[in-house]
Structure 1
Amino acid sequence: MPDTKTRLLEAAVRVIRTKGYAATTVDDLCATAGVSKGSFFHYFKSKDGLALAAVGHFSTMAAGLFAAAPYHQAADPLERVLGYVDFRVSILSGALWDYTCLLGTLVQETYDTHPDIRNACERGLSSHIGELTRDLALARQLYCPTAEWTAESVGTFMQSVLQGSFIFAKATQSAAVARDCLAHLRRYLEMLFGQSSTVERKET
């Protein structure tokens, strides 16, 4: 069984993604983690303190998940970029809180009221965009070296589509809209890199 601190971190990731930050209480977090309030305050001074730590915990978990994803095995950087989108589609399963983003959820509620949380979320999102940017830059050099756009801007656009798709998934209570958004994102990326259809190209 995870230690008390880890249980609180995992509870924060789950409860905040389920209820939102404002609606989450210390009692909710303790009940989900199966710990007392005394244990909570032994590790964290406040809900804000736990949220900050949960951002780092979530980012570390996400980094491990994506580092082990199969799209990294492709030799072609564009195939890795498209494979990333395919992988995001493949993990759109389970309850909403299973696949929506803690950082996106937090920053929507705290961007003006909790600058420390906002900045931590921005660092986490930017780090993930940085991972995408490396393959985007290599794919740009290979397929469209004179393109006017930057790899960083496309990485940010990809993350924007993802975060927006999570909002609509919450609004509709369904992953279907997120899958549609990611399908459009994949088609856009193929057009951006001058590929009519990577799938068709491989099958011919």
Structure 2
Amino acid sequence: MSDTRERILDTASRLFHEQGYAATGVSTILREAGVNSGSLYHFFPSKEALLIGVLERYRRLLDPVLQGPLEARVADPLERVFALMSWYRAGMEATGCRLGCPIGNLALEVSDTYPEVRPLIDENFRGWTTGIRRWLTEAGDRLPASCDRDSLAVFILTVMEGGLMQARASGSLEPFDRSVAVLRAHVDHLVQEAGRPSGGQGDSAS
């Protein structure tokens, strides 16, 4: 893949996250990426095409950049859930609760204005739930047989995204921390119901 194309995508991803899609001008992307307009439009005929490229890139990098390294660091599949929460919490803390989740931010901003990107946003979220579902499957009989792992994976993602959104809105990590604490209590309850030890707090991805 072209280094220039990747540099444009990397720059656009960062700027869309920091400033929002609508507030980021093409001229800013060109300046920050160090490319001319001909190079950008060679790869992306419009700003909307660039947005699609950014969303496709997020999905492509989800496993090798986020899920894979987290799985390598944290052996306990249930603790990976909370290592993921810790990773996002560290990012929010580092930015003063200003940025939130890049996919969640774009979902709120562009889903209605650009309905053609909605399937890509959904695909990114489903990439997360698929990975989380895999961890829940690896947990085996540490979770009760009655546990709906598909629904639990969706619930975990909802806790993460909702907590991040509320933390960003309030400028405080408290909503995120309270949401994760309730999730921890729920998972611990499921483990106890299955009659297996929870494994404690485990490793952190932060």
Q: Same fold (TM over 0.5)?
A: yes
| Letter aligned with residue 155 of structure 2 | F
How far off is 1:179 after superposition? 4.1
Aligned equivalent of 1:44: 44
Q: Give the drift of 1:5.
A: 1.1
Name 1:28's counterpart in structure 2: 28
Counterpart secondary structure, 2:23 = coil
Q: Distance in 2 between matches of 1:171 and 1:131?
A: 27
Superimposed CA distance per residue, residues 143-175 of structure 1 (whole angstroms, 9 cap, x where no aligned partner): 31134xx21111111111111222223223455
Q: CA deviation at 1:53?
A: 0.7
Aligned to 1:165: 163
**Residues 59-100 of structure 1: CA deviation (Å, up to 9, x unaligned):** 2333222201256652x5434444444444455453369973
Q: Is the contact made by 1:140 and 1:151 (CA closer than 8 Å) also made in structure 2?
A: no
User: What are the equivalent positions in structure 2 for 1:1-204 lying under 5 Å apart?
Assistant: 3-63=3-63, 64-69=65-70, 73-74=74-75, 76-95=76-95, 100-139=100-139, 141-147=141-147, 150-175=148-173, 177-194=175-192, 198-199=199-200
Q: Provide the rounded CA distance (Å) in 2 between the counterparts of 1:170 and 1:82.
A: 19
Greater Cα shift, 44-53 or 131-140: 131-140
The answer to whether the 8 A contact 1:89-1:182 is kept is no
**Retained in 2: the 8 A contact 1:69–1:87?**
no
Alignment CA distance shift 1:94-1:87 (3 Å)? closer
Q: Distance in 2 between matches of 1:82 and 1:163?
A: 14
C-alpha offsets along residues 81-136 of structure 1, whole Å, 9 cap, x if unaligned?
A: 44444444455453369973222111112222212211101011101110111221
- Partners of 2:73 and 2:132 in 1: CA distance: 11
Counterpart amino acid of 1:123? E
What is the percentage of aligned positions where both structures have the same residue?
Answer: 27
Gaps of 5+ in 2: 202-206
Tell me the secondary structure at the aligned position of residue 68 of structure 1. Answer: helix
Following the alignment from structure 1 to structure 2, what is the Cα–Cα distance between the partners of residues 52 and 24? 15
Would the alpha carbon gap of residues 184 and 176 (structure 1) be closer, same or farther in structure 2, given more than 3 Å must change?
Answer: same
The total of aligned residue pairs comes to: 196
Q: Residue 71 of structure 1 contacts residue 87 of structure 1 at CA under 8 Å; is this kept in 2? A: no
Work out whether residues 191 and 198 of structure 2, in 8 Å CA contact, stay in contact via their aligned partners in 1: no
| RMSD over aligned Cα atoms | 2.9
Q: In structure 2, the residue corresponding to 1:22 is in which secondary structure? A: coil
- TM-score, normalised with respect to structure 2: 0.78
Unaligned runs of 5+ in 1: none
